[in-house]
Amino acid sequence: MRKFLRSDQHVRPLGLLAVCIIVLALADWGQGRFLSAATAFSTFEIFATIGPVALGLGLTMMIREFDLSVIGMFSMAGCIAVITGADSPWIGLALALAAGLAGGLAQGFIIVRLRLGSVGVTLGGLLVFTGIAAVLTENRSLPYDNMQLALALKTPLAGVLSIRSVVALAIFAITAFIMAATRVGRDVIAIGSDRRAAMIAGVDVDGLMIGIFAFSSVCAALSGVLVSYSLASASVTAVSVIIVPAAAAAILGGVSLSGGTGRPLGIGVGVLVLAVLSTGFNAIGAPPYVNDIAMGAILLTVAILDGPYLMRRLSGLRRRAVRH
Amino acid sequence: MSEPVARWRKRLAVPATPKSWRQLVFDARNPLPVIRATVMIGLAVLALTTPGFLSRPSISSLLTTVSFIGCVAAGMTLITLSGNIMSFSLGAIVGATAMIFTASVNWGGLAFGFAAALAAGALLNAAQGFVIGWAGANPIVVSIAALSLVYGAIEAVGADGTIYAQAGVSYGLFKGEIAGIPFEFVMFLCVTAIGQLILFLTIFGRNLYMVGGSLRAAEAVGVRTWRTISGAYLWAGMFSALAGIMLAIRYDSASMDFGVGYEYEAIAAVLVGGTVVKGGEGSVVRTLAGALIIAIIQVVLLLKGLRQEWQYLLAGLLVLAVVVLQTRGAGE
């Protein structure tokens, strides 16, 4: 059991996903509420919202940093897209992604050049981005008058997917390919494992770190734009709505908080676990708080199991118990 | 010159070359004091020249609003000092304790309400501190998990709306002013004093600075770091519970909306006050200053006719600037 939970981080997410699906299917017991195309569709919709954010956040966690600003970027990009994309959604998308790129590069640059902790800097980024979003929306919900686009984004493709989820899946596939097949992937893991060793070995640590913060911001921006377009409105998102599942998904997907481990596909499966849980609870008629509690409990459990002192403390306790 | 005299001269000579006046006024390696002074003076001039700033209602509402966030910020200071950056669950704890307070007062009276809310805040937060200190769990993730759990739990017990104080309940002297100062601000000053005394006069306080400065070093000299970290979170929970109680008293009701966003305003006050993000350096009094600075800026902006949203943006820029400047000032 402990081996399953701790060491085999690439099997853990898949096992968890299977367990979740089986348990929910059993809870539904053949009434067809859970194992249906509609549930699968909404699962992938949630995947499309959380997935890219979790991927960006997860990559920053792999290099032992933490990008808090993703939530702010998610809101700000949605607002920018809705305001500037009134005539053409492509212009809105482009400007929002450009803002994401600029914000991410700026934060990465500050972190790398001034040797600052990422949590502090991205906390500042989060507050600035949220502030810009609040100024842009005047703290209201901005409508977006392009219902056609909203409908097009929500039309099912192949039964269970939509344009939004296809985009999200594509990002995961591309990132997974880059991480598995190119030098960048190995360099990222090297930075997360031992930054100094990676630098001595000739890895462009600074450049890659800036790149990862830029990637994380762009991912959050893209997800924010697509969500705003499909809802046909933009507003300042409540913080907990995105960051809780995104962080949980990254951790469930095998990204260690101490850096150096994790795979994009693992994060993807982690997102799927959370999405399945959320739609599954909904489908079998559980009250909404069950999802909050389940998500919090999972996050807390994994955070504790991931704690670097846990094993030492437990063995200390055991030794003391033996002595008495 | 005889040899012994030369030797004595050498021994007595003050090694440091006297600082040039330039260095005394502006030390390029540590620009923080100068920036701090400039900002303070500029802010004071700006505030005093803004018509309406010194009016009684303006001052009174400033002191009241700053107190709710200030109490949370005082608690957040302890968490930041302990090296755990910030907690995302303090806002949820404010809302939860406000609800627990109102419900308990309705059920068992004022004293019971205070006890229940303070105990709940302390417990909820100390549990997080324990997990963080004992197992080394990541503080950000633990607090995010706690946020989710607290919201879920409050909803689960069937209180997802607003609870109102019963008709018979009277908060008496807790509502209103003490010698012309809003009750909330008096509480905030008390919280600041308690926090500062804990930090400067107790062993726990000294350990907290040590743990925040270097966890390993603290452990090496025999500090039980998990106790210190749990303690920091426990006090933070109590201070946040006080904020929840004051909100519940002021509005004669409570809901989970009360604490939304408080953790961000609190960490802004902590950082603007000059407590270092990495921990180990700072104080609760500095946070008081930080909270007041942000509140004064907000009032001035409001009086100048800027919409509220600009305050968020300005607070964000301020935090970013402070974070960037801090580590520059600390030097390599």
Q: Where are the domains of chain A?
A: 7-317
Q: Is residue B13 part of a domain?
A: no
Interface probe for A, chosen from B69, B154, B309 (most Cβ of A below 10 Å), is B309
- Quickly count: other Cβ atoms within 10 Å of residue A115's Cβ: 9
Residue predicted with more confidence, A196 or B79: B79
ipTM: 0.83
Question: To 10 degrees, what angle do helices B225-251 and B90-108 make?
Answer: 60
Q: How far is A296 from chain B (nearest CA, A)?
A: 4
Q: Cβ B131–A300 below 8 Å, yes or no?
A: yes
Q: Cβ A296–B85 below 8 Å, yes or no?
A: no
Q: Cβ A131–B149 below 8 Å, yes or no?
A: no
DSSP 8-state code for residue B19: P
Q: Work out the mean pLDDT of chain B and round it to a whole number.
A: 85
Buried b (16+ CB within 10 A) or exposed e, B140-178: bbbbbbbbbbbbbbbbbeebeeebebeeebebeebeeee
Residue B26 has pLDDT above 60, yes or no: no
Q: How far is B316 from chain A (nearest CA, A)?
A: 4
The pLDDT of residue B303: 84
Distance CA A140, CA B63 (A): 28
pLDDT digits (tens, 9 = 90+) for A41-91: 888 888 998 999 999 999 998 888 888 899 899 999 999 998 888 888 899
* Mean pLDDT of the region B59-80: 93
Q: Is residue B314 part of a domain?
A: yes
Nearest CA in chain B to A136: B309
Q: How far is B161 from chain A (nearest CA, A)?
A: 13
* Mean pLDDT of the region B306-313: 81
In this predicted structure, which of B39-48, B97-106, B162-171, B229-238 has the lowest mean pLDDT? Answer: B162-171
Distance CA A230, CA A164 (A): 9
* pLDDT band at B15; cut points 50, 70, 90: very low
* Mean pLDDT of the region B201-227: 92
CA–chain centroid gap for A269, Å, is: 11
The pLDDT of residue A239: 58
Q: Work out the mean pLDDT of chain A and round it to a whole number.
A: 85
**Interface check A252 vs B, CB under 8 A:** no
Distance CA B135, CA A312 (A): 9
Q: How many CB pairs under 8 A join A and B?
A: 170
Distance CA A85, CA B202 (A): 58
The pLDDT of residue A259: 74
Closest partner residue to B313 among A114, A128, A293, by Cβ? A128
The pLDDT of residue B17: 47
The domain that contains B215 carries what CATH number? 1.10.3470
Q: Cβ B260–A292 below 8 Å, yes or no?
A: no
Distance CA B128, CA B237 (A): 10
Closest by CA position to A223, among listed A100, A108, A104, A132: A100
Residues in chain B: 332
* pLDDT band at B92; cut points 50, 70, 90: very high
- Quickly count: other Cβ atoms within 10 Å of residue A22's Cβ: 10
**Which chain A residues have a beta carbon less than 8 Å from that of B147?**
240, 244, 296
Closest partner residue to A307 among B137, B307, B313, by Cβ? B137
The pLDDT of residue B331: 39
DSSP 8-state code for residue B80: I
Residue A6 has pLDDT above 60, yes or no: no
pLDDT digits (tens, 9 = 90+) for B148-205: 999 999 988 877 688 888 877 777 767 777 777 888 999 999 999 999 999 999 999 9
The pLDDT of residue B103: 92
The pLDDT of residue B205: 94
Distance CA B67, CA B174 (A): 14
The pLDDT of residue B263: 87
Distance CA A187, CA A193 (A): 10
State the pairing for strand pair A142-143/A233-234.
antiparallel
Q: Cβ B323–A120 below 8 Å, yes or no?
A: yes
* SS3 labels along A73-115: HHHHHHHHHHHHCCCCHHHHHHHHHHHHHHHHHHHHHHHHHCC
The range of the structural domain enclosing residue B325 comes to 57-330
Closest partner residue to B142 among A117, A124, A300, by Cβ? A300
Q: Which helix (H) or strand (E) holds A3?
A: helix A2-6
Residue B1 has pLDDT above 80, yes or no: no
* pLDDT band at A138; cut points 50, 70, 90: confident
pLDDT digits (tens, 9 = 90+) for B227-284: 999 999 999 999 999 999 999 999 989 998 888 889 888 988 998 888 888 888 899 9
The pLDDT of residue A29: 75
Q: Is residue B20 part of a domain?
A: no
* pLDDT band at B108; cut points 50, 70, 90: confident
- Quickly count: other Cβ atoms within 10 Å of residue A18's Cβ: 11
Q: For domain A7-317, is the CATH number 1.10.8?
A: no
Residues 143-162 of A with CB under 8 A from B: none
The pLDDT of residue B124: 96
Closest by CA position to A70, among listed A276, A275, A260, A244: A244
Query: Domain total for chain B?
Result: 1
Distance CA B229, CA B208 (A): 7
pTM of this prediction?
Answer: 0.85
Q: Is residue B35 part of a domain?
A: no
DSSP B194-213: HHHHHHHHSHHHHHHHHHHH
A147 neighbors A155 (Cβ within 8 angstroms): no
Q: Is residue B2 part of a domain?
A: no
Q: Is residue B21 part of a domain?
A: no
The widest CA-to-CA distance across chain A, in whole angstroms, is 76
* Mean pLDDT of the region A20-33: 77
* pLDDT band at A8; cut points 50, 70, 90: low
**Interface check A247 vs B, CB under 8 A:** yes
Q: How far is A174 from chain B (nearest CA, A)?
A: 27
Residue predicted with more confidence, B145 or A8: B145
Q: Cβ B86–A123 below 8 Å, yes or no?
A: yes
Q: Cβ A124–B323 below 8 Å, yes or no?
A: yes
